[in-house]
Amino acid sequence: MRILFWLGLLVLVILAVRKKNRAVTADRSEPASAAAEAPAVESMVCCAHCLMHLPASEAVYRGQQAYCSNAHADLH
Ligand SMILES: [Zn+2]
């Protein structure tokens, strides 16, 4: 079972080295990983009760107001 661990580790190292070499030889544009790590741009809304900011897709809406949770929405 231990040999599988070392084999997996070896494959990971080889992949990492190959990726690194490719990044060095490739043009010096922005690394793809940086773009992948950046959060998707989404409009933020502010909870009308606690003023916490959260993504619009996760907000709870009551009329015109946005809230961070049902609990806060129910308080109004
Ligand atoms: Zn809130």
- Looking at residue 33, what is its pLDDT? 62
- Whether the Cβ atoms of residue 35 and residue 16 lie closer than 8 Å to each other: no
Do 31 and 44 lie in a common domain?
no
Q: List the pLDDT tens digit at each of the 76 positions of the chain.
A: 788 888 888 888 878 888 888 877 666 565 566 556 666 678 999 999 999 999 999 999 999 999 999 999 999 8
Amino acid sitting at position 20? K
Write down the pLDDT at residue 7: 86
Question: By three-state DSSP, how is residue 55 classified?
Answer: strand
Same domain for 58 and 30: no
68 with 48, same domain? yes
* 42 CA from centroid of ligand 1 (Å): 19
Calculate how far, in angstroms, residue 44's C-alpha sits from the geometric centre of ligand 1.
Answer: 13
Give the pLDDT of residue 13. Answer: 85
**Range list of β-strands (E), 21-64:** 44-46, 53-55, 60-62
Domain interval for residue 14: 1-38
Residue 36 CA, ligand 1 centroid: distance in Å: 30
Amino acid making up residue 61? Y
Kindly give, in sequence order, each residue whose CB lies less than 8 Å from that of residue 43, ignoring residues fewer than 6 positions away: 55, 56
Residues 11 and 21 in one domain: yes
Same-domain pairing of 4 and 33: yes
Q: In total, how many domains does the chain have? A: 2
